[in-house]
Chains A and B, each alone.
Chain A
């Protein structure tokens, strides 16, 4: 079977061998009909080549040096590829746009020129007549008649951009957006600086829901004519529509950019760069729009909000010992990053006002990104004796006492800690950042019962469906273990749980299993923790419930 099926293929292979031999033995003919080097309008360059950086200059120098070497070594083979200088002259003559110098004795040439010019004029005049008719119809709102007139004009004379753009305007009125877009591109091919065509094409694309390119066109209008307010309005309108259509559009884009190809490349950091580039794109576009708004509209426009920068409801921490000069302490603590992590848990003495000042600044995000310890340092004011800041601070009554009696200090700290009450926020978190902040506050409470109690209450607020979105890629064994402890605690208190409670626990377990990297965390559980899991699942047995069965399967019970 196989030999027959490949018979034709093998015949062809034999043929190809013969041809191969012929090809190598053949003398290579020079190609005679190569057209000259193409000359194109280089106007469509977003980045102009004139901005040469140092690296480009170096490359140019290298090129020139190496060209000399290559030109020297390879004269014969290049002849095949390169044309002689004669053909290059032909290009110049054939260009009708440039004004040629016709010598005074070239009567034929003059005659031709005059004849061609006359013809052109006649054609253009005819076409302009039709265009005038079209304009009249446009004025009296007869769109389709206007289109017929404009098409006649185009059929007579091809090269006037105004005909195309006028026809595009008519198409826009009839809502034939695709043909409007095409007409605008043709107009722009003739005259790429014609503002009306860019604007109309933007409108057409907007209505075709091609938002990205529509914004590009409107930006081009602004480049050519910075005072154009209509285009700014259009850009804002488009942004609104994008948000209406897809409220999570930006987050989806960043997710899709993460799913790049896994090609074998020498630079493995490339994928990371693409992620950043996509998110940077969006941010840059927004920043540009903000600038435009401020310049042109002259109003204090509220900046477009990013989903990430939403304001967090901060927990209200009751103050027990008020210190007056804590502002200054905070500032000084921010500047010096200290590794007094053992004394982190001392003194959560912050007023509400100070909390707002600290957390609404951008520094919180930066510090969070830098080290996790810093968040605690912001909230806690490490006591003055333990830090070298004491010399700089303005003296307070507490400072003096602390310097004298460090031991008394520690006992007072412990007392303060025990008496701290952390209140639970009323709204559920929407990002991992929020969740972790609040979670960490709870974990600093020393009394275990209250810890678990407050964490439990916090968990109750969170809708379990959101859990995968909150955790995304930051799920770890520690959180898993903590959640299991909380659930255990819940069942301790309510020894005979309701059905609603059981279903709630089942839901939590189910949605935890949907978090990415769940399987990794599951593998790293110790025996004790798995025992806890089995207990929980056994206790929350709901008969004939699909969720329960799913949970059992997922946790392999």
Chain B
């Protein structure tokens, strides 16, 4: 590669390794250089592994856990950042809480039958510190049956809040997110569905959703820009090369078909997250920037300018779809990507350092 091409590489890949799992989700572990890969193992059972990024551009597999149903999604955030409790949702509608430090082979707590079919996405908040929000530890799950349920860890018989779609029109819930947990009582819950509907609830009063909007394209992922502070905007990435950003105070939805930047109009944008930075100087610069990953294996850095989006940088990382990526909560320049070509890649982006 030329020097110019090297300079243009903003996401510099530090290490890559091919794993024996078909990975659906990846999450960094706080207070360490480790990350967790969640997915389906070789013989169809669910498995997730703890891996560590080591000096010398290596990734070491430290431990692996198994369960009978294959795993779809997982999330930290139910406790402080130094105590490693992972919530894992699987294909048969159950979710469980695993304690990774102790290393037990079974989950501490399991909720059976949370959903009648598979759990598409799971999100936690309320760990008690600035990374996972204040307030009570709660888990939110969104399922293939169209239901969105909020569970408190202390009450697993019945969800605290649930939004159940009609049985006739089951609007598959593809993504769920919690944010704006800056207080003991404040919290926002967002759910994105297959029909493109985005519902936003204020959990202080859930009788009526705060905002109901549609993007008309299935919503693959949602992300709030702040978890432990009042959130300003919600990013929704959709099918058919569309992105949308919802400003919560005005309830304005800015939606755009970005097929001209991606090259095709039928790409699904699997995951998107707001970028943050450690320096206070850079924080204002990077306020309205976010990172996307699409089904061509390309990662984009996008900035929102008023009512339009500007693609600052695109970089092809893999040949197949990047199903998910994760930004380290304590170092927003460390990215971990999984893709369907069985390789996980760790990359470093100096813009956010």
Contacts and interface: CB of A to CB of B under 8 A. Distances in A.
A26 interface: yes
Interface string B210-226: 10111011101000000
B113 A280 contact: no
Contacts, number: 187
A259 B266 contact: yes
B331 A36 contact: no
A323 interface: no
Interface in B52-103: 53-55, 70, 79-80, 82-84, 91, 97, 99, 101-102
Given A9-B333, A35-B185, A47-B167, A41 B206 contact: yes
Contacts of A448: none
Contacts of B157: 63, 67
Contact of B55 (A10, A24, A34, A178): A10
A40 B33 contact: no
A14 B218 contact: no
Interface of A: 1-2, 5-6, 8-10, 12-14, 16-17, 19-20, 22-24, 26, 28, 31, 33-47, 49, 55-56, 59-60, 62-63, 66-67, 70, 74, 77-78, 80-83, 178, 182, 185, 188-189, 192, 210, 212-213, 256, 259-264, 266, 274, 277-278, 280-281, 284
A38 B33 contact: no
Contacts of A192: 207-208
A210 B266 CA distance: 25
B108 A9 contact: no
A263 B70 CA distance: 14
Task: Tell me whether chain A's interface is mostly helix, strand or loop, or mixed.
Answer: helix
B31 A23 contact: yes
Interface centre among B155, B170, B208, B323 (most CB of A within 10 A): B208
A38 B6 contact: no
B275 to A, nearest CB: 16
Contact of A23 (B82, B112, B214, B348): B82
Contact of A70 (B110, B128, B194): B110
Contacts of B97: 81
Given A8-B353, A44-B209, A47-B166, A37 B155 contact: yes
Interface in B143-201: 152-155, 157, 160-170, 172, 184-185, 194-195
A38 B240 contact: no
A284 B167 CA distance: 12
A44 B34 contact: no
Given A20-B33, A49-B164, A266-B91, 11 more contacts: A16-B31, A35-B135, A40-B206, A44-B209, A45-B163, A47-B167, A77-B108, A192-B207, A213-B214, A260-B218, A262-B268
Given A16-B32, A23-B32, A59-B112, A264 B340 contact: yes
A280 B82 contact: no
Interface string B324-353: 000000110110000010000000101001
B203 interface: yes
A67 to B, nearest CB: 8
A266 B70 contact: yes
A61 B138 CA distance: 24
A20 B239 contact: no
Contacts of A26: 82
A182 to B, nearest CB: 7
A-B residue pairs, 7 tightest by C-beta: A20-B32, A59-B113, A16-B33, A23-B82, A47-B164, A188-B208, A9-B348
Interface of B: 6, 12, 14, 22, 31-34, 44, 53-55, 70, 79-80, 82-84, 91, 97, 99, 101-102, 108-110, 112-113, 116, 128, 135-138, 152-155, 157, 160-170, 172, 184-185, 194-195, 203, 205-210, 212-214, 216-218, 220, 239-240, 251, 266, 268, 295, 323, 330-331, 333-334, 340, 348, 350, 353
B54 A13 contact: yes
26 contacts: A6-B12, A9-B348, A17-B32, A20-B32, A28-B83, A33-B128, A36-B136, A37-B155, A42-B161, A43-B207, A44-B208, A45-B162, A46-B163, A60-B113, A63-B112, A67-B157, A77-B102, A78-B108, A81-B97, A81-B153, A82-B153, A82-B154, A213-B214, A261-B220, A261-B268, A284-B169
A274 B206 CA distance: 28
A308 to B, nearest CB: 20
Contacts of A9: 14, 333-334, 348
A184 to B, nearest CB: 9
Contacts of A189: 205, 207-208
B83 A260 contact: no
A259 B70 CA distance: 25
A13 B53 CA distance: 8
A553 B218 CA distance: 37
A78 B155 CA distance: 12
A81 B101 CA distance: 15
A261 B240 CA distance: 9
A212 B197 CA distance: 10
Q: Which of B155, B185, B212, B240: most chain A CB closer than 10 A?
A: B212
Given A23-B32, A261-B239, A277 B112 contact: no
A47 B165 contact: yes
Contacts of A280: 168-169
A22 B101 CA distance: 12
A59 B110 CA distance: 13
